[in-house]
Amino acid sequence: MRITEVRVHQLSAKLKERFGWSLNWAQERHATLVEVLTDAGITGWGDGDFGGDKLIANPQLVIGRSPFAVEAIFDELRSPGGKQQRVGSPAAAGLDVALWDIIGKALGEPVWRLLGKQYRDRVQPYCTAMYRKDWPDLATGLAAEAMEWKARGYSLIKMKIGYGPEVDVEVVRAVRNAIGPETGLAVDSNCAYDAGTAARLGKLLEPFALLWWEEPLLANDYTGYARLREAFAIPLAGGETMFTDELIQHYVQPRLVDILQPDIEHVGLTGGRRLTYLTWLNHMRLIPHNWGTAVRTVSELHWAATIPPVSEGLYAPPVMIEFDRTESPFRDAVVAEPVDIGRDGKLPVPDKPGLGITVLPEAVESFRKNLIVIC
């Protein structure tokens, strides 16, 4: 079996209602779906990058090769200059996922079986929502939204902060008071602060029993993160913008954060599998970041099925994935099988060959703003 063509579908869609966080306001959503075709008639899909200019200039790095060369292709596309350049840049992560999808379909096996040991067939999600909207009062609006997610069956919710320490304390208090102590609450400030400000804010947030604080600082403020780990008793999380090798060198080996949050968009399933093993060896939790289409969510379900628990304790912190519930016109429209929580609040891991989902080409085309074909 040989790869004959790569099609990169760049999607975008306007939102009905804008939402904001510490960096910006979103008026529209974007995503990239990578479709890989073979001479065996098997097609694979992934959500993420495709190798960019390097692949366009050197199509022979993929075209004509066996999909089973997935790991070689990942390394050749990711690391053009070895250690002399920024290691791990730019990952062909969506392409990588599509190759794993093809391999699974060719072998008649779900992707999780190819990645490692299956630890679970249902994965605990946490609900990502709780952005800023055009509410008259932010704290009241967020508290009401949190109650809606709780009523829909979510036991773990993440909210945005990063609006200045005083506002952050006010909104977290309002949400915690609304949902009560039994619902898990995490916060994400998208690199809003410096270490001094975050050290002060962390002490103020300690009473709210937060599951974690995500990206208090810029992703490369390694010294700052090391300071924060000693400054307050809230687990630190991060890593969503970084590539596999950067994460290993700067986050996993020094145990910079408590919870590593790589995104399949940047690490693919090949990088994800490496991170699974290294975080486990380094006693770190691994919770994949997820911001894309249902293809990405399903890819992360296969990955999360194979992530070992951080301890063997009966009450070990759960392995989970991020489940984005903000407005996205194409997120679920591009696949035939809806991805949603069951009555137990968990997401089922697909059991069919490959990723185990059906991408709908007409739906993809309806949201497509640009198509790149490599053959």
Residues labelled as active-site residues: 289
> Which residue lies nearer to Mg ion by CB, 188 or 300?
188
Q: How many CB atoms neighbour CB 353 within 10 A?
A: 18
Q: Please spell the DSSP secondary structure of 306-370, one letter per residue.
A: TPPPSSS-TTPPPPEEEEE-S--SSTTTTBSS-----TTS-EEPP-SSBT---B-HHHHHHHEEE
> Which residue lies nearer to Mg ion by CB, 214 or 245?
214
Structure tokens at 361: 């080409």
> Which residue lies nearer to Mg ion by CB, 145 or 188?
188
Cα(68)–Cα(44) distance, rounded to whole angstroms? 12
Q: How far is the CB of 42 from Mg ion (least distance, A)?
A: 34
Q: How far is the CB of 289 from Mg ion (least distance, A)?
A: 6
> Which residue lies nearer to Mg ion by CB, 76 or 188?
188
Q: How far is the CB of 216 from Mg ion (least distance, A)?
A: 11
> Which residue lies nearer to Mg ion by CB, 76 or 214?
214
Cα(42)–Cα(103) distance, rounded to whole angstroms? 9
Measured at the CA of 188, the angle between CA 185 and CA 190, to 5 degrees, comes to 175
Cα(298)–Cα(280) distance, rounded to whole angstroms? 22
In the complex, residue closest to Mg ion by CB: 188
Q: How far is the CB of 361 from Mg ion (least distance, A)?
A: 31
Q: Quick check: helix, strand or coil at residue 125? A: strand
Give the number of residues written for the chain. 375
What is the amino acid identity at position 252? V
CA end-to-end span of the chain: 15
Distances (CA, A) of 239 to 31, 36, 232: 19, 28, 20
**What values do phi and psi take at 80, rounded to 5?**
-60, -35
Distances (CA, A) of 150 to 160, 301, 344, 346: 17, 22, 13, 14
Q: How far is the CB of 242 from Mg ion (least distance, A)?
A: 12
Mapping DSSP onto H, E and C, the string for 128-168 reads ECCCECCCCCHHHHHHHHHHHHHHCCCCEEEEECCCCHHHH
> Which residue lies nearer to Mg ion by CB, 51 or 162?
162
Q: How far is the CB of 105 from Mg ion (least distance, A)?
A: 32
Residues in contact with Mg ion by CB under 5 A are 188, 214
Radius of gyration over alpha carbons of the chain, in Å?
20
Cα(57)–Cα(247) distance, rounded to whole angstroms? 28
> Which residue lies nearer to Mg ion by CB, 32 or 290?
290
Q: How far is the CB of 21 from Mg ion (least distance, A)?
A: 9
Q: How far is the CB of 88 from Mg ion (least distance, A)?
A: 19
Sign of torsion, CA 31 305 113 257? positive
> Which residue lies nearer to Mg ion by CB, 101 or 324?
324
